[in-house]
Structure 1
């Protein structure tokens, strides 16, 4: 039975995969070139360009939503999840029609940000999130309906992952809730796919496609070459999607626990360019219901048990030589109150706080077996000694207490800036040119051109990095080194790096590789209000002295080319895997004079404060401070559960 003429986004059959670094020319076996995790790649402008005839057509979107509403007939206040939502075209259209409980999730940060921007522009209330469909960031029984639209199902190499998606859908659906799936008719495509095609996208771009079945005939393998008429090949990319028939899809839904599985005919595809529709030539529409008992939230007047979380902090009664006055001041206590207030909003958890380091070991011993997680926010180090930051996780491991954040070995590695540089260079990650000055070196030569920046090799919180650290002559360099050694009493090695003049960037990542992480929006430091005679750095003054000129430095969303953003993210993911960073991390980068990124440092367990870099990145991405803290906690709990 054919439904109304409509066409959903063409999903993966064109535009979502990983860009190749070069044009491969003739390929004998397409399957050999498909990355197993091609779906990780951010769905960027190429996807919207190649699939624009459908995914950017507002009239088609309205027709598609008409069909969804006709089949499901949801109430205006129904809780609806648009899963794998792309740029949110269906979610936004539902919101335009007065549906007030719409949430949407997609793996692509680029498309989610685009969706959020559109929602803000139209003042539409849709809760967009970036995430993995196999690990949904929603509580049990949150939704009346879950939509999987536009052929956004069957990306993974293993069918087990598709089952994980469906079981997560079942978990977040309320009792008697429904899932609506629109997916390519695999049996039809297996016998009717076009092996080759090409079309003009617009007056400058055209795309060539090749397709073949996988060896086991369960997936359709696609290659897509996008070409600019003057510039040549833009991308040469490979991807695949599992082919489901009505029979195999029904079996999969039943295996995942769904019932009342109903097929609703097909959508008739359309294209404004009247060109190759690939995976969308014929699609299956199916709904299925969750038949489960409602979970009991209350029993004998008691609420569901909460997770017990212990929060470790620095000791406010002891000296902290990294702070301007060497003691906790009003700003520090205000920051702690903001933390407590934000945590108090997380109803699933109950928090207690430990900050007395004199009794800390004894108190931690008494907690064994009594807590679900230690939220390790003691970035000051044991007894506020930054060299002993790693002692806290080491102690927790000896006591077998699960905790958030990176382990002691990672903290030790990343505390050594020169070591990080060496490993990064070995991995092919670019770093600034630099030289290493040992404590006993009284005379030294600098094999790099001025200007340079002088840093303590060991340290964090911008310790020892001030406006005087940027040197334009040998005299200034000698003075800066003497100041670090004599005024600060620093007796460890010193790093001298070339001073890069490009944008000052930071990227935050929450979660754990390989498949449970989100990349927060990259930020850049806005130095526009800084006096022109001061060096453009985010050093000690910017972080600790709000009344200094550097107090006017702001973190804003980075305006950088997509290719540079992608490169920074790819390098960052490789680095956190190599160094073993866990749960949350921040990496600092700077562009050189040619606009190319170079790594400055890695910050495992970065600052958790409400006005810190990580919180600012989260806010730009639409995540509140409480949501940021909750995400850190939940990603740690998931990691521990999987161990």
Structure 2
């Protein structure tokens, strides 16, 4: 890799960070630059190499000869990017090729190309330091295109090699194609620039790190019409032949061999950067087969599903009771779980005896599937009580813990955390219960919502206000009609697309980002505000009941930015197993975070299930994916 793109390139200009002259490039490099820099801009800046099919074919020719590849070999293309080598191998008849990369954008692009060509290649997202494969899986692992040396420490790079050693079969081989560090250290270009297409050019600056072990790069990408669209920094470790050999041996490899160097010819005849001269090195995993663990006679997992209590009032529901729709939803869930093989499910929904029931089950079950999003005794303020109880009893469970649920229940608090992380949120004002007068520091329209709450409680068509009088009335309605006596949040009302993002798994190790959906408001009368509030979720006679969720149509840059932010929030807030994030675009198409929903609605027709369906997953498969995510996190085999 010689240059990469920024995930924020078309986001509203005020959220970009452009620098002028910089004296120390290294101080601007973020530790995880590699987690968000590979996108469509990267494919533009590096197109002269990574999108040149002739270069790819020549490289695959070389690697196939060096490794003496067979069509039956199981091959892992690690850090595969948009899959150029994996796809070329599949075109040549290799039947067992898989690709893994950290970039959601590039993996989706690889999947789409494989589907378009009808190629049998498996692509998935993942972290090279913790591979989602069993020991002794592959005959060959490839790390190509200078995709090694991104981490801050040598120890992190060693983790990658140890994982490769683990997943290789005995006598399996690794091939690494990586920059010649010694050459680049003495021959890098401190400054260069080039046109990357008819509208874009890139300016580059480079310097050595203080310790002389990494090459620090800066790219300023410019659109000839719009101006600067990215200003980004990255760093890559400069390995010598001796250092690579030592690292491979430290990971357990033997028979380290070097096979000359690789120098591609750029059609642009421009700066090749880190791709200019690369080392080709192979090594062999001489090891014993990993002992196969004998499966116990009883392979069925005993899982208890904890639910809300249908015997008790639930004030978020119409008429404050569980109705036929609720019981139908529960039956659909039970039917889906029943179809999953290898499980024995039982159910607890009596909250009067919940504590004693769980105490009796301790040590007799594998874990709890916590679907009690109503909260203990159907009190949404006590949603965190159920996982807190499970932790006190020492019973493993699915989903987020008490602290995460408490944090995300407070919309204003989440706004503050997001802003601290540089994630855009709507402008807002916080109204305390004792406040009787208030002014907005931003223009109308605005939306009035309870600061604490979920299931769109208190949010109706009257929540969108256009005048001071309507604002007063909306606050009064939440306090009086809904009986809400806590703080109220008033946000600027964003008129762009209404979006939801779902994640199943546990970043950064193993996770899937479900297709983003947007709300289709075309069936609404034009005079009604475009919101998905209480009426859309609970009142079948409302015109809002006709709202549909459809696959979101977003620019690549916007989608990448939103997903990157969601992954950061997932980790920062310590969400677990599954989560939903709600966003909205402003009138100019700039995304802003609205809410984070850990342990989101699990029902068969909910937003998460809709996203899963678009991804080709059945409702049962979605629930199964949540269970598998929890089992992997809890190390339950």
* TM-score bucket of the superposed structures, by smaller chain: 0.7 to 0.9
Indicate whether 1:337 and 2:326 are aligned: no
Indicate whether 1:270 and 2:276 are aligned: no
Contact residue 523 and residue 547 of structure 2 kept, 8 A: yes
1:433-462, Cα deviation, whole Å (9 max, x unpaired)? 345263x77x65664765443433432111
From 322, 329, 336, the equivalent of 2:316 is: 322
Question: What is the aligned partner in structure 2 of residue 608 from structure 1?
Answer: 602
Q: Structure 1 residues 457 and 36 mapped into 2: Cα distance closer, same or farther (>3 Å)?
A: closer
Deviation at 1:86, TM superposition (A): 0.9
Question: What is the aligned partner in structure 1 of residue 497 from structure 2?
Answer: 503
Matched position secondary structure for 1:120: helix
Question: What is the aligned partner in structure 2 of residue 255 from structure 1?
Answer: 250
1:238-282, Cα deviation, whole Å (9 max, x unpaired)? 222112233322221221122343433333422111222222232
Question: What is the aligned partner in structure 2 of residue 212 from structure 1?
Answer: 207
Whole-Å Cα distance in 1 between the matches of residues 48 and 18 of structure 2?
25
Question: What is the aligned partner in structure 1 of residue 4 from structure 2?
Answer: 15
Deviation at 1:314, TM superposition (A): 2.6
Deviation at 1:389, TM superposition (A): 0.7
Deviation at 1:219, TM superposition (A): 2.0
Comparing 561-570 with 270-279, greater Cα deviation is found at 561-570
Question: What is the aligned partner in structure 1 of residue 155 from structure 2?
Answer: 160
Whole-Å Cα distance in 1 between the matches of residues 607 and 467 of structure 2?
32
From 27, 30, 34, the equivalent of 1:32 is: 27
Whole-Å Cα distance in 2 between the matches of residues 71 and 283 of structure 1?
15
Alpha-carbon RMSD:
3.6
Question: What is the aligned partner in structure 2 of residue 3 from structure 1?
Answer: none
Deviation at 1:166, TM superposition (A): 1.6
Matches within 5 A, 1:195-234: 195-229=190-224, 231-234=226-229
TM-score (norm 2): 0.85
Question: What is the aligned partner in structure 2 of residue 286 from structure 1?
Answer: 281
Deviation at 1:560, TM superposition (A): 3.8
Q: Structure 1 residues 114 and 577 mapped into 2: Cα distance closer, same or farther (>3 Å)?
A: closer
From 23, 37, 42, the equivalent of 1:47 is: 42
Indicate whether 1:97 and 2:92 are aligned: yes
Whole-Å Cα distance in 2 between the matches of residues 164 and 626 of structure 1?
35
Whole-Å Cα distance in 1 between the matches of residues 119 and 381 of structure 2?
49
Whole-Å Cα distance in 2 between the matches of residues 211 and 122 of structure 1?
39
Contact residue 82 and residue 105 of structure 1 kept, 8 A: yes
Contact residue 297 and residue 304 of structure 1 kept, 8 A: no
1:295-318, Cα deviation, whole Å (9 max, x unpaired)? 45464x746967765443333454
Question: What is the aligned partner in structure 2 of residue 85 from structure 1?
Answer: 80
Whole-Å Cα distance in 2 between the matches of residues 172 and 605 of structure 1?
33
1:305-361, Cα deviation, whole Å (9 max, x unpaired)? 67765443333454434344621534312441355157x25x6x7765443433321
1:45-98, Cα deviation, whole Å (9 max, x unpaired)? 221111111111122222322333333344435432221111111222223333
Whole-Å Cα distance in 2 between the matches of residues 577 and 496 of structure 1?
27
Matched position secondary structure for 1:601: strand
Matches within 5 A, 1:136-215: 136-215=131-210
Whole-Å Cα distance in 2 between the matches of residues 89 and 425 of structure 1?
37
Q: Structure 1 residues 619 and 38 mapped into 2: Cα distance closer, same or farther (>3 Å)?
A: farther
Question: What is the aligned partner in structure 1 of residue 13 from structure 2?
Answer: none
Matched position secondary structure for 2:322: coil
Whole-Å Cα distance in 1 between the matches of residues 400 and 114 of structure 2?
36
Comparing 388-397 with 228-237, greater Cα deviation is found at 228-237
Question: What is the aligned partner in structure 2 of residue 359 from structure 1?
Answer: 353
Question: What is the aligned partner in structure 1 of residue 409 from structure 2?
Answer: 415
Indicate whether 1:464 and 2:463 are aligned: no
Whole-Å Cα distance in 2 between the matches of residues 185 and 625 of structure 1?
49
Structure 1 gap ranges (5+): 1-10
1:217-242, Cα deviation, whole Å (9 max, x unpaired)? 32222223333445444333222211
Whole-Å Cα distance in 2 between the matches of residues 51 and 459 of structure 1?
47
Matched position secondary structure for 1:430: coil
Matches within 5 A, 1:324-473: 324=318, 326-327=321-322, 329=324, 330-337=327-334, 339-341=336-338, 344-345=340-341, 353-369=347-363, 373-421=367-415, 429-434=424-429, 436=431, 438=433, 447=440, 451-471=445-465
Q: Structure 1 residues 252 and 370 mapped into 2: Cα distance closer, same or farther (>3 Å)?
A: farther
Question: What is the aligned partner in structure 2 of residue 245 from structure 1?
Answer: 240
Whole-Å Cα distance in 1 between the matches of residues 246 and 135 of structure 2?
24
Deviation at 1:574, TM superposition (A): 6.2
Deviation at 1:417, TM superposition (A): 3.2
1:496-519, Cα deviation, whole Å (9 max, x unpaired)? 444332221223445667777665
Deviation at 1:400, TM superposition (A): 3.1
Deviation at 1:371, TM superposition (A): 5.3
Deviation at 1:134, TM superposition (A): 1.1
1:582-604, Cα deviation, whole Å (9 max, x unpaired)? 44332322233343434332222
Question: What is the aligned partner in structure 1 of residue 60 from structure 2?
Answer: 65
Contact residue 320 and residue 328 of structure 1 kept, 8 A: no
Indicate whether 1:553 and 2:547 are aligned: yes
Matched position secondary structure for 2:266: coil
Deviation at 1:169, TM superposition (A): 1.9
Deviation at 1:37, TM superposition (A): 1.7
Structure 2 gap ranges (5+): 10-15
Q: Structure 1 residues 163 and 372 mapped into 2: Cα distance closer, same or farther (>3 Å)?
A: farther
Contact residue 19 and residue 236 of structure 1 kept, 8 A: no
Contact residue 202 and residue 222 of structure 2 kept, 8 A: yes
Matched position secondary structure for 1:320: coil
Deviation at 1:411, TM superposition (A): 2.2
Q: Structure 1 residues 230 and 462 mapped into 2: Cα distance closer, same or farther (>3 Å)?
A: closer
Whole-Å Cα distance in 1 between the matches of residues 272 and 414 of structure 2?
48
Question: What is the aligned partner in structure 1 of residue 517 from structure 2?
Answer: 523
Deviation at 1:152, TM superposition (A): 0.6
Whole-Å Cα distance in 2 between the matches of residues 22 and 494 of structure 1?
32
Q: How many residues align?
A: 624
Comparing 607-616 with 50-59, greater Cα deviation is found at 607-616
Contact residue 432 and residue 598 of structure 1 kept, 8 A: no
Deviation at 1:545, TM superposition (A): 4.9
